[in-house]
Every structure is written in structure tokens, then in C-alpha cells.
Amino acid sequence: MALTPEQQAEIDAQRAETQMTARAVSPGMEKRLYTAHEVLDHGVVRVIDYMGDDNAIVQAARVSYGRGTKTVNSDAGLIRYLMRHWHSTPFEMCEVKFHVKLPVFVARQWIRHRTANVNEYSARYSILDREFYIPEASQLAAQSSQNHQGRGQVLEGAEAARVLDILRDDAMRAYDHYEDMLTPDEDAGKQGLARELARMNLPTNIYTQWYWKVDLHNLFHFLRLRADSHAQYEIRVYAETMCDIVRDWVPAAYSAFEDYRLGGVNLSGKAVELLKRRLAGEEITQETSGMSKGEWREFTEVWG
Ligand SMILES: Cc1cc2nc3c(=O)[nH]c(=O)nc-3n(C[C@H](O)[C@H](O)[C@H](O)COP(=O)(O)OP(=O)(O)OC[C@H]3O[C@@H](n4cnc5c(N)ncnc54)[C@H](O)[C@@H]3O)c2cc1C
């Protein structure tokens, strides 16, 4: 379970409060605000605040005094133009603040995205909850033989069951020891270890939480890398949830992002030449392509 009943009640109370505002609001994002979207076994993504909408992007691009919007079609066309030509600063005018609950090993990948503002739950100040990510059996896979950074075939029955037992046992034993080290006991002459030290035996599948604020341009960069099929499943599911949220928040910008970035392909100069040769009817193999095996594989994955 991702949320306690008390946490859900706090969210419901916040959603019940509304205020009049002269600011631009996004109807799609208003529906999402504060709501907890569950990810993995205990993870959560929710929007705490946001600034701007599709109109804010065109308003900034046109440096307008008022809303600066024209027809829906010409605004969407301008957004597509900006995305196509990497004119990125108008997208930076929109911001969003997420509350994310995620396993520590996912947080380590996530924190590499430096263009966000982060405030993490302090395990020096507070005691971490007994919450560990235990994958579903379908996510337990062997090392990929092709991709050094990826997974291959799913583990079968007895092996998968043993892995799950190990993960659960290790997590529970480590947490028992964490609690033991923290707890003072006068009779036993125990002072209890400081929280900042006791946490060091906890495995990286324990959950942490943070507030993460980012502008739309850098969020798109994050989503392009982490919603991609090459990203690890455990971070990808967060990115996919965030894609759904962003689609509701800024539909025109998301549609341009989906088309040019998620659905688009970058071509090297060599790849452009190869495509031209192919279109001219030449049969090309990896040997005649001038590409490495890996590059050729990636090229043919897209172009057949
Ligand atoms: C599939 C995958 C595998 C990965 N594997 C590894 C790995 O094995 N080991 C590893 O260490 N990392 C790995 N990474 C992390 C990766 O190298 C990046 O650190 C991460 O994706 C963040 O990207 P970024 O720096 O572009 O993002 P951000 O930090 O959000 O930066 C966004 C952009 O801002 C600019 N920028 C930000 N800071 C600076 C700066 N200090 N100097 C210059 N420009 C800056 C750059 O243009 C950058 O692209 C992996 C990432 C992915 C998606």
C-alpha cells in the first residue's frame, strides 16, 4: 500500500479547499493536483503545485502584454515550431512541483538530473518507514546477453521464488537491526545509535521521498531519457506516470514533445547518407555501411 488512511485524508482535505485566482490554470492539471498516483508497490507521484499552461508558452514566445494567444491552431503550430527548432526557453516558463516516493536505488538514477530543485526526507531527522520495493515476479529477469545495462529472460519458478525470499528476508532483517540499533534501553545499558548512523545498513530498495521541482523544458529532457525503453523499468514507470500527468497539464506541448522527441529519431550524418543510398536502391550490409555492429543494430531497429 502506497498511502496510509491518514495520508489519504490529508490529500482529500487539501483537494477540498479551493481558492479564486487571477492566475492561468490548466483544467487537466487541476484534476490531478495533490492526487496520489501509485507506482511500483509503495511508490507515489503527485503534483503539489504548478505554474503555467500551454498559453504561457506562446505568451512567452511572443513576449506578449496580455495572454498573447491567437487561434488554438496557430498556438499549437507555434508550440510545434518551438519544439522542432529546439527553441526551448518558452517551455521553461512552465514549472511543476512533484512529491515522489521512490526506492533509493531509483532515486540515485533520478538525482543525476541536475536541473531540478530537490528536498528529500531526512533520515538524519526522522526514522524511515519499513517499506521496501519487492519486484513483481514478472520483473525478475536474468542479465541481458546483448545489453550490459539491461535485463534478459524472466526468471522461472523456483529461482524467482528464491530471489523474492532473499529480497524480503534481507529487507526485514536489515530493518530489524536498524530498529534495534536506534532503540535506547536503559536496562540493557543501550543509548541507541543516532538516526544518521543507524540508517547505513539499510538496503537500496528502501523507499525515500522528496519534493522535486522542475521547469517543463528540463522535465521533457528527463522524460525523454527515463520514459525510453532503454531506461530501467523501475524509473520508467515513474516517468510514464508523469507523462500522463504532463499530457493533461499542457496538451499541445506534450503532443509536440511526443511527436518530435519520444516518437522522433536523431540521425547522424552517416545515417543520413545510408538512407539516401538505400533510397537510391543500393543494398547495404553492416560491412558496407561503415557503421559499428552496435550502431548498425540500432539503425536497422528503426529503419528495418
Ligand atoms: C539509459 C541511461 C543509462 C545511464 N547510465 C549511466 C551510467 O552507467 N553511469 C552514470 O554515471 N550515469 C548514467 N546515466 C546518467 C546520465 O549520464 C546523465 O547523468 C543523466 O541522464 C542526466 O542527464 P543530463 O545530465 O542531461 O540531465 P540534467 O542534469 O538535468 O541536465 C540537463 C542538461 O543541462 C546541461 N547541464 C546540466 N549540468 C551541466 C553541467 N554541469 N555542465 C554542462 N552542462 C550541464 C546539459 O546540457 C544537460 O544535458 C544514464 C542515463 C540513462 C538515461
Q: Which of 106, 111, 222, 225 to mutate to test the pocket of ligand 1 (most atoms within 8 A of CB)?
A: 225
Beta bridge partners of 117: 213
Query: Residue 151: its pLDDT value, please?
Result: 79
**115 Cα nearest atom in ligand 1:** 30
Query: Residue 254: its pLDDT value, please?
Result: 98
Query: Residue 177: its pLDDT value, please?
Result: 98
Q: Ligand 1: residues within 6 Å at CB? A: 112-115, 218, 221, 225, 230-231
CA distance 115 to 128: 27
Residue nearest to atom 34 of ligand 1 (CA): 115
SS3 111: coil
Q: What's domain 5-133+207-262's architecture?
A: 2-Layer Sandwich (3.30)
Cα 112 to ligand 1 centre (Å): 6
Cα 35 to ligand 1 centre (Å): 29
Single out the residue of 81, 93, 20 nearest to residue 54, CA to CA.
93
Q: Report the run of H or E that residue 103 belongs to, with start and end.
A: strand 95-103
Binding residues for dUMP: 109-112, 120-124, 199, 226
Query: Residue 209: its pLDDT value, please?
Result: 98
Instruction: Name, in order, each residue with C-beta under 8 angstroms of 109's C-beta and a sequence gap of 6 or more.
Output: 226, 232, 235
Binding residues for FAD: 89, 112-114, 120, 215-217, 221
Single out the residue of 27, 40, 29 nearest to residue 216, CA to CA.
29
Query: Residue 76: its pLDDT value, please?
Result: 95
Query: With a cut of 70, which residues of the chain have pLDDT below it?
Result: none
Query: Residue 65: its pLDDT value, please?
Result: 84
Cα 48 to ligand 1 centre (Å): 25
Residue nearest to atom 23 of ligand 1 (CA): 113
Q: Which of 88, 110, 114, 234 to mutate to test the pocket of ligand 1 (most atoms within 8 A of CB)?
A: 114
Q: Any idea which residues carry the catalytic annotation?
A: 226
Task: Tell me the domain boundaries of the chain.
Answer: 5-133+207-262, 134-204, 269-303
Joined together, the cell numbers standing for residue 124 give 538524519
CA distance 267 to 281: 20
Beta bridge partners of 119: 211
Query: Residue 71: its pLDDT value, please?
Result: 86
Cα 94 to ligand 1 centre (Å): 21
Number of neighbours of residue 173 by Cβ within 10 angstroms: 12
Query: Residue 148: its pLDDT value, please?
Result: 72
Query: Residue 143: its pLDDT value, please?
Result: 77
